[in-house]
Amino acid sequence: MTDMPKPTAEDIAASNEFGRRLQEAMAALSEKSRLVLLLTSMDGHSLEEVAELLQLPVGTVKSRLHSARKQLAEKLR
Amino acid sequence: MTCDKYENALLLAAASNGELDAKLAQNLERCSTCRMTLRSERELFSRIDSALRAQVNGDPRPGFLAQLRLQLSKKLTARPGSDRVWHVAGAALALVLIAMFYPLVNARQSSVQGNLQTPTIKAPQSGSVTQSPRASEDLGVRSRHHSKRPAGAVPQKPEVLVPPDEQKAFAQFVACVARRDAIAQAVVMPATNKTVNRNTELPQVSSVDIADLQLVRARQEERIDQTGRSE
């Protein structure tokens, strides 16, 4: 097992399982983190606009976005 | 310093995709494993972001709208059931309130109707004015303060509510009226029963003298002329 190379991000993205794993990782997020992640992923939405939409400080949005991406990376790594 | 010490810093740098710290940059120049880790982490985050953008901004999958309509229809059909429960609960509450307050309202209406009836005034047994409290008791005259009747009970006799300071005068009045039955009858008797003697017959005239108005004037002028000549 130790001889097998660790799958890289490219290998994971290339696999068909990546989308399903991403969905599972998204479902494991809290609703607040998931909402920030989805809103910031939409085209044409800046962090300031998302903060105004959710009536939150921009720093809070940044913090939630960073935490959500980190959790996703931990599950998809 | 070992590479394990920079592991978290590498992950943070990959996630933030910003400028690297100076010490981390020096470590990356020396350690190829750390460079590979940073590169793979950045690629992972970039894949995540691209996949999220594709999912969020892309067209909905086939059947998504149909599934959404199905869920909406389920929720809309489930809502009237919950409303029905509230309607039943409201109706039950209304019935309980009616059952609680109907006897009180009914008793109050009966009491008011009893007070609105024409009071029957009895003559006191031993009619002396000094026994006016006794007479008032016989006549069913009670004051509000002395009434021990529980709320909601229908009075057997029509009662007259008299303030305490006017009870004595009222009892004297009742005793006085009771001695004069004719006056009492006249006072108590409704106006419709009173008979008024009216002469509805037409006046009869035996004979009527009908004279011409011009003839009367001519006679008056002749009388005036005769009196003028005689003078």
ipTM: 0.76
In the numeric block, the tokens 């998302």 are attached to A50
| Subunit contact A22:B11, Cβ cutoff 8 A | no
In the numeric block, the tokens 């085209």 are attached to A43
B198 pLDDT band, cuts 50/70/90, is: low
Show Cβ contacts of residue B57 under 8 Å, excluding neighbours closer than 6 positions.
A41, A42, A43
More confident: B16 or B178 = B16
| Orientation of helix A58-76 relative to helix B32-57, angle to 10° | 110
Q: What is the mean pLDDT of residues B56-61?
A: 79
**pLDDT in the model for residue B168:** 80
User: Does A62 touch chain B if contact means CB atoms closer than 8 Å?
Assistant: no
User: What is the rounded distance in angstroms from the CA atom of residue B109 to the CA atom of residue B175?
Assistant: 30
Check pLDDT > 50 for residue B26.
Answer: yes
**pLDDT in the model for residue B209:** 61
Interface test with B, best of A72, A74, A75, A77 (most B CBs within 10 A): A72
pTM of the model: 0.42
In the numeric block, which tokens belong to residue A20?
């399903």
**pLDDT in the model for residue B92:** 87
| Subunit contact A69:B45, Cβ cutoff 8 A | yes
**pLDDT in the model for residue B136:** 46
More confident: B120 or A30 = A30
Helix (H) or strand (E) holding B141: strand B141-142
More confident: A52 or A13 = A52
> Closest Cα partner for A36 from A19, A55, A13?
A55
| Subunit contact B47:A73, Cβ cutoff 8 A | no
DSSP classification of residue B166 = G
Check pLDDT > 60 for residue A10.
Answer: yes
CA–centroid distance for B111 within its chain: 22
Q: What is the mean pLDDT of residues B56-71?
A: 82
User: Does A28 touch chain B if contact means CB atoms closer than 8 Å?
Assistant: no
**pLDDT in the model for residue B79:** 64
One-character DSSP codes across A1-70: -TTSPPP-HHHHHHSTHHHHHHHHHHHHS-HHHHHHHHHHHSTT--HHHHHHHHT--HHHHHHHHHHHHH
Phi/psi of residue B2, each to 5°?
A: -95, 165
| Subunit contact A70:B15, Cβ cutoff 8 A | yes
B141 pLDDT band, cuts 50/70/90, is: very low
User: What is the rounded distance in angstroms from the CA atom of residue B10 to the CA atom of residue B16?
Assistant: 10
- Residue type for B95, please? L
B114 pLDDT band, cuts 50/70/90, is: low
**pLDDT in the model for residue B130:** 45
Residues of chain B neighbouring A77 (CB-CB closer than 8 A): 44
User: Does A56 touch chain B if contact means CB atoms closer than 8 Å?
Assistant: no
A10, A28 contact by CB (below 8 A)? no
User: What is the rounded distance in angstroms from the CA atom of residue B47 to the CA atom of residue B24?
Assistant: 24
**pLDDT in the model for residue B134:** 47
pLDDT, averaged across chain B: 71
More confident: A66 or B145 = A66
Per-residue model confidence as pLDDT tens digits over B32-42: 888 888 888 88
More confident: B159 or B43 = B43
In the numeric block, the tokens 């009858």 are attached to B185
> Closest Cα partner for A48 from A60, A31, A32?
A60
CATH architecture label of A9-76 = Orthogonal Bundle (1.10)
3-state helix, strand, coil in chain B (%, to 5): 70, 0, 30
User: Does A22 touch chain B if contact means CB atoms closer than 8 Å?
Assistant: yes
Looking at A55-59, B7-11, B56-60, B144-148, which range is the least confident one?
B144-148
- Residue type for B24, please? L
Domain borders along chain A are: 9-76
User: What is the rounded distance in angstroms from the CA atom of residue B212 to the CA atom of residue B223?
Assistant: 17
pLDDT, averaged across chain A: 83
